[in-house]
Amino acid sequence: MTTEEKLKHFQDICMEDARDRSAKMLDDYMAALEKSFEEHTADAKRRADMQVAMETEKLEREMNKRLSIAQLDLKREVSHKQEELKDKLFVELKDLLENFMDTGDYQRLLESQVKAAKEFAGDAELIIYMDPSDQDKLQRIAMHHNATIKVSEYSFMGGTRAVIPAKHILIDNSFETKLKEARHEFKFDLGGK
């Protein structure tokens, strides 16, 4: 082989070796780029998923907060309406009691309250108070039951109050107290609870 052929052969081998090395380096570089791209893609997806999860949680918290505020507003509104209805109901009940006080049943109720107070007191001193509006009934009931009955200095809407001084006992059968107790204990039954 001539020197030129040898040079040509050497050049071909070198070029092929350079091409092989270059192709291998290019393949290695492409593999590294692919791996880097996959890692970057996985990291971006993970960050995007985290961002979506955080935003979802934030939206859920905001929605729960708004829902809680709306529920509180509804509860306040229902409570306000219930108070309005309770007021109307007890105004009507008070009117019914006033009408009841003009009946014979009311007279019998007063007599039964006096009788029950006397039985409860036994031999102890007993003072019975009647509402000023019932002054016309006082004499008859006092004589009929042989009891000390006085007209109260202030109105308690009807009924009686009895005091046993020796035992420090108050028997309160006044309509005012009964209405206050009923109002305090009254609850609307909404049926769904």
pLDDT, position 164 = 94
Question: What is the band of 81 on the pLDDT scale with cuts at 50, 70, 90?
Answer: very high
pLDDT, position 188 = 80
pLDDT, position 53 = 95
Backbone region of residue 148 per phi and psi (left: phi > 0; alpha: psi in -120 to 50; beta: other values): beta
**Distance of alpha carbon 68 from alpha carbon 61, whole angstroms:** 10
Q: Which range has the worst mean pLDDT, 45-49, 142-146, 163-167?
A: 142-146
Which segments within the chain are labelled E, that is strand?
127-130, 149-151, 159-164, 169-174
Q: What percent of the chain has pLDDT over 90?
A: 75
**Distance of alpha carbon 136 from alpha carbon 125, whole angstroms:** 24
pLDDT, position 191 = 67
What would the mean pLDDT of 36-44 be, rounded to a whole number? Answer: 94
Q: What percent of the chain has pLDDT over 70?
A: 98
What would the mean pLDDT of 42-59 be, rounded to a whole number? Answer: 95
pLDDT, position 3 = 85
Res 2 pLDDT > 90: no
Contact of 121 with 162, CB cutoff 8 Å: yes
pLDDT, position 192 = 56
Give the 3-state secondary structure of residue 160: strand
60, 65, 71, 74: CA torsion to nearest 10: -130
Angle, vertex CA 8, rays to CA 3 and CA 10, nearest 5: 90
